[in-house]
Amino acid sequence: MIISMNKIAVISDIHGNYPALKAVLDDIDSDGIEDVICLGDIVGYYCQVNECIDELRERKIYSLLGNHDYYMLSGTCCNSRTVKMCIDYQKTIIRQDNIEWLSSLKSEYDTRDISYRHGGWNDAVEERISVFDFSWVKDFSQKLYFSGHTHIQGIQKNETSGKIYCNPGSVGQPRDDKPSAAYAVVGSDGKIALRRVDYDIDEIVNKMKEAKQGEWIWKGLYTGEKVGGNK
Closest CA relative to residue 171, chosen from 4, 65, 72, 28:
28
Check residue 187 and give its pLDDT: 95
> What DSSP string describes 4-68?
----EEEE---TT-HHHHHHHHHHHHHTT--EEEE-S--SSSSS-HHHHHHHHHHHT-EEB--HH
Identify whether 134 is part of a domain.
yes
Identify whether 37 is part of a domain.
yes
Tell me how long the chain is. 231
Q: Show the domain range for 165.
A: 8-222
Cα 187 to the chain's mean position, in Å? 19
Domain count, the chain: 1
Check residue 228 and give its pLDDT: 80
Identify whether 231 is part of a domain.
no
Identify whether 209 is part of a domain.
yes
Identify whether 80 is part of a domain.
yes
- The CATH number of whichever domain residue 67 belongs to comes to 3.60.21.10
Task: Report whether 229 contacts 220 (CB < 8 A).
Answer: yes
Identify whether 227 is part of a domain.
no
Check residue 1 and give its pLDDT: 34
Burial class of 215 by CB neighbour count within 10 A (0 to 12, 13 to 18, 19+): exposed
> What DSSP string describes 156-213?
EE-TTT--EEEE---SS---SS--SEEEEEE-TTS-EEEEEE---HHHHHHHHHHTT-
Identify whether 2 is part of a domain.
no
Identify whether 228 is part of a domain.
no
How do the pLDDT tens digits run along the chain, 231 residues long? Answer: 334 468 999 999 999 999 999 999 999 999 999 999 999 999 999 999 999 999 999 999 999 999 999 999 998 889 899 999 999 999 999 999 999 999 999 999 999 999 999 999 999 999 999 999 999 999 999 999 999 999 999 999 999 999 999 999 999 999 999 999 999 999 999 999 999 999 999 999 999 999 999 999 999 999 999 998 776
pTM over 0.75: yes
